[in-house]
Amino acid sequence: MLRAASRTFALSIERLPGILGEAIAIAYLLLRIMPPERKVALIHLWGQVLSGEVRVETLTVQLSNVDDPSPDADVARHAAEVLAVMGRLPAEVQQTIISSVRDTTEGMARWQARGPVVLQEADMDDYMHEVAGRVGYLVTHLFAWHADGINVRKDLLMPLAREFGLALQTVNVIRGLRKDFERGWVYVPLNFFAAVNIAPQDLFDPQYQSQAMQVVEMIADKAERHLLAGKAYVQAIPAWHHRIRLACMWPLLFAVRTLAISRHDAAVLAGEAKVPRAEVMRIVRDSTLWGWSNTWFDYYFHQLGVVNGKGSPPGRIS
């Protein structure tokens, strides 16, 4: 289910050691359990399941006849099995996961009830905090539980963890502009559109392409600021926790590269920007060899953000 839900995050999670890897895999799946169409009543019901107020079967019975082939829907239908696996984890880890997933669920219910209205950047950040910033807190708590070397740096890492989450989610907003619009959501603040004198519905109109790309650039600049904080997060993790660094490094570097190929390219308005598989594998290879070095990581991070003639990432440096 993890690989079906996200091959990218599965790659990172499966790199993590022992119980830590299992705990974050379970946490990720629980966070993906969002009932079809994210109906507020069902989201609240899922929150009650997490709180132990109702049995999980109360939710899964309602989902059993839903015709939705998506990975998220499949995870939701198997919520009982996921919770059963979580029950094998240490009690402290279970409590950390449940508390975080419940808070995220309540935040998603609040936003679903509010509707697709993002007035200012602060509104966008509030939404992204619920779906991604809290995830940054969760994984940092679990990293600190696993490793004393991370636990002693927890106060430094926690604010950066939220920024890390916002970084990945801001890039997701760029990648999903058209798909989100087609389902009735625009996560871009309305004041971004007002700054270039267009309306959200004009974003995909060819006659407003120039203004639309200015909006994309505003979001990209915002993403870049968050990504720099994400870089600081990775660099604050001790080099000897190389597997944890890699698990954080990969989604960050993929996001940096996705942002680079989205800038100044109107194709991002037509569909999702994707990093070619060959580049993904190159990033994985290079970072596995050299990602223990903060000097190398700083160089590589910035080079991936540069679009050259061929759009290729940098090679190895010594």
pLDDT tens figures, 76-135: 888 899 999 999 999 999 999 999 999 998 898 888 888 878 999 999 999 999 999 999
How many other CB atoms are there within 10 angstroms of residue 183's CB atom?
Answer: 9
Q: How far apart are CA 211 and CA 217, in angstroms?
A: 10
Quote the CA–CA distance of 133 and 181 in Å, as a whole number: 23
Q: Percent helix, strand and coil across the chain, each rounded to 5?
A: 75, 0, 25
pLDDT tens readout for residues 206-244? 999 999 999 999 999 999 999 999 999 999 999 999 999
pTM summary value: 0.90
pLDDT at 256 over 90: yes
- Please report which residue ranges of 147-241 form alpha helices under DSSP H: 148-151, 154-175, 177-182, 190-195, 209-236
Mean pLDDT of the chain: 89
pLDDT, position 311: 39
275-287: pLDDT as tens digits: 899 999 999 999 9
DSSP secondary structure letters along 6-45: -HHHHHHHTTS-HHHHHHHHHHHHHHH---GGG-HHHHHH
Quote the distance between the C-alpha of residue 67 and its chain's center.
26
Mean of pLDDT values over 29-33: 88
Phi, psi of 173 (to 5 degrees): -60, -45
- pLDDT band, residue 64 (cuts 50/70/90): confident
Average pLDDT over every residue of 140-148: 97
- Is residue 246's pLDDT more than 50? yes
- Label residue 317 by pLDDT band (50, 70, 90): very low
Instruction: Give the C-alpha distances (Å, rounded to integers) separating 116 from 43, 98, 110, 228, 289.
Output: 17, 27, 11, 28, 43
Give residue 197's identity as a one-letter amino acid code. Answer: N
- pLDDT for 298: 96
